[in-house]
A and B are shown apart, each in its own frame.
Chain A
Amino acid sequence: MTALAERAGAPPVHRAPSRRRWRGARLAPYLFTAPALLLFAAFKLYPIAWAFWLSLFKTDGGLQTFAGAANYRRLVADPLFWSALGNTGIILVVQVPLMLALAIGLAVALDSPLLRFKGFIRLGFFMPMVTGLVAYGLLFAILLNPQSGLVNWVLGLAGIGPVPWLTHGLWARVAVGLALTWHYTGYNAVIYLARLQALPQDHYDAAAVDGAGAWQRFRHVTLPGLRPVVLLTLVMSTIGTLQLFDEPYVMTHGGPDNSTMTLGLYLYANGFKFFDFGYASAIAYALTVIIGILGLVQFKFLGDRP
């Protein structure tokens, strides 16, 4: 408000700081951060707290009754919850490391002085990132159609297949993993590349003087240099994977036989198909706790070492 008053009045040049303006400067940070903080409180913090409250209620024929930890007990005994967690876990331990390794290789190649058309190649690998999850999920579902998709046609030319993408449990997971890898590898590679270009060249020079080969330079200079960004992308990928929703929603609907059911899909089904808000909220809280624990573990193991 003081600032507004200032704005209306003619600004005198080089006057001594007045008490009024001093108060304005003191209030200013609250003024600037208030919209974000209020919106965050209303649409994030309050719902987060409310979700926990809801998770303590049971839905019985449209009636909400307080049930304590019943939803959480049900969760622990729910085989579908565990298989959804398992499916997510498989992607987490197979797809994420493969993708990040691929991205590191790509970044090193993009950083190589031998490479031509660098700008174009970097751009090409980054392109998938701007495609929406639903859009590329649908596109991949059509490309990977087992009977007559483009991918199986090409594989057929090479005498392979037909691969039962999307219709067989294992291959449906591979299909989702492929789509994820297509979408995110270039993005991660560009993050690594930026880091590589910021690494001091003299470390490489010193290693070269010491007679280190290409592999040893990669092992002892490149990888340690990348550690902080690898940690960052690992944490981001973990959070993203645990919330996986759009791709399996459009590619497999969680099938076949729940083999691509994720926690996100299971939460959605309980909340917005069966309208069991209490149980959906309990799943959401379990998800939050899992993400928190995994994040802490990753920081513990990768974060502190020099």
Chain B
Amino acid sequence: MTRRVMLTSSLLVLVAVVLVPFYWLVVGSTHRSAEVFGTPPPLLPGAHLLDNLATLESTVGFSRVVLNSTLIATLYTVLAGLVCTMAGYGFAKFDFRGREPLFGLLMLGLIVPSQVTLVPLFKMMLALEWLNTYQAIVLPNLALPFGIFLMRQSMSALPDELLSAGRVDGCGELRLFWRVVVPPMRPALAALAIYLFLYQWNDFVWPLIALRTRDAYTIPLAIASLQGANETDYGAILAGTAVAAIPMALLFLLLQRHFVSGLLAGAVKE
């Protein structure tokens, strides 16, 4: 009984500590820059969220930035979801020559640091005149090794009888994919979609290199660019950070079952 209370209360305290940054992010984003660093620091929400958002709009064109982030992440999620699901299916449910070496090659992408490709990709985008475009951000990571791995794992649980029954019925391969394979994969697809959206929404290094004008910026670029200006506006930075983080936190709370299974799927299976 007492051990139960002690364990539960100490973990609740720890969770509270972990959640303080979220709470304070909301608080800080509603205060002016000067108040953010007041003594004592603000502990309750203030009234200046709209002022901070207006500052963001005038300094970095924030509405355009949010639109960029949303479109890029959505486009990426749809396309990468398709590419990874198709590949996962191909690798899980067909026996074909070169399957293992090709899959191994893709999984190499999990180990080779993405930073290796930064300079060549920059030169490639420069030559294609794709800098500051959506495709420069969306295309290079469509074949995401983790996504392919995840879908292969999920697809391998699909009973082969289902596929052979479809084939006996004369169903073509593409039709089989859409009508028979994809529908029962919905939970895995939800997890994949969440993972992909989050990945692209938060991505920083490559956009930092490929998006060089302000109207092409995504949210992380915009809020990072506010730092180190002569008079850094911390209220505005916090408001922008809140726009980057809070929707994802809410999405997480809404879809947490899929979230957790999505982020774990690759990790726990051996």
Contacts and interface: CB of A to CB of B under 8 A. Distances in A.
A285 B113 CA distance: 9
A272 to B, nearest CB: 6
B121 A37 contact: no
Interface of A is mostly: helix
A121 B11 contact: yes
A25 interface: yes
A43 interface: yes
Which bracket fits the contact residues of B? Answer: 35 or more
Interface in A169-197: 182, 186-187, 190-191, 194-195
Interface in A267-289: 267-268, 271-272, 277, 280-281, 284-285, 287-288
B7 A109 contact: yes
Nearest to B4: A114
Interface string B89-128: 1110011100100100110011111111111111110000
A99 interface: no
Interface stretch (B45-53, B60-68, B260-268): B260-268
Nearest to A141: B227
Nearest to A276: B119
A160 to B, nearest CB: 16
Contacts of B252: 126-127, 130
Interface of B: 3-4, 7-8, 11-12, 14-15, 18-19, 21-22, 24-25, 28, 36-41, 82-84, 86-87, 89-91, 94-96, 99, 102, 105-106, 109-124, 139-143, 145, 148, 167-175, 177, 198, 201-202, 204-205, 208-209, 220, 223-224, 227-228, 234, 237-238, 241, 244-245, 248-249, 251-253, 256, 259-260, 263-264, 267-268, 270
16 contacts: A30-B90, A32-B89, A36-B106, A37-B106, A40-B145, A43-B143, A44-B117, A116-B8, A124-B19, A125-B15, A127-B249, A138-B237, A147-B37, A191-B264, A194-B264, A272-B122
Among A48, A138, A295, the one with the most B-chain Cβ atoms within 10 Å of its Cβ is A138
Contacts of A68: none
B173 A138 contact: no
A288 B113 contact: yes
Contacts of A194: 264, 267-268
Contact of B86 (A33, A112, A138, A147): A33
